[in-house]
Amino acid sequence: MLRWTCCLCTVGQVVHTLPEGRPVVGITSLAGEIYLLRTKERDEVEVYDVISYRLQRCLTVPDAKGFADMTSCEHYHCVYISDPHIECIHRVDVQGAATRWPVNDEPTGLSVNAAHSLLVACHEVRMIKEFSSHGNLLRELTLPGDATHPWHGIQVTTGEFIVCHGHGDDALTRVCMISADGRHIVHSHGGQRGSDTGQYRGPFHLAVDNNEFVFVADINNRRVTLLSPTLHYVRQVVSSDKLKWCPCRLYLDVQRRRLYVADNEAKWTSGRVVVFSV
Q: In this structure, what are the phi and psi dihedrals at residue 162, rounded to the nearest 5 degrees?
A: -95, 125
Could you read off the pLDDT of 218-242 as tens digits, one per residue? 999 999 999 999 999 999 999 999 9
The arrangement of secondary structure in 13-277, i.e. its CATH architecture, is 6 Propeller (2.120)
Residue 52 has pLDDT above 90, yes or no: yes
Could you read off the pLDDT of 14-44 as tens digits, one per residue? 999 999 999 999 999 999 999 999 999 999 9
Mean pLDDT of 180-194: 95
Residue 113 has pLDDT above 50, yes or no: yes
One-letter amino acid for residue 254 of the chain: V
Say what the pLDDT of residue 251 is.
98
3-state SS record for 59-102:
ECCCCCCCCCEEEEECCCCEEEEEECCCCEEEEEECCCCEEEEE
Say what the pLDDT of residue 10 is.
59
Query: Domain residues of the chain, as ranges?
Result: 13-277
Which residues 6+ apart lie within 8 Å of 171 measured at CB? 146, 192
Mean pLDDT of 162-170: 91
Say what the pLDDT of residue 68 is.
97
pTM higher than 0.75 for the full model?
yes
Mean pLDDT of 247-275: 96
Residue pair 154/206 in contact by the 8 Å Cβ criterion: yes
Could you read off the pLDDT of 117-137 as tens digits, one per residue? 999 999 999 999 999 999 999
Residues of the chain above pLDDT 90, percent = 91
Residues of the chain above pLDDT 70, percent = 96
The SS3 assignment for 8 reads coil
The confidence band for 1, taking pLDDT boundaries of 50, 70 and 90, is very low
Say what the pLDDT of residue 7 is.
47
The confidence band for 2, taking pLDDT boundaries of 50, 70 and 90, is very low
Q: Mean pLDDT for the chain?
A: 94
Mean pLDDT of 239-265: 97
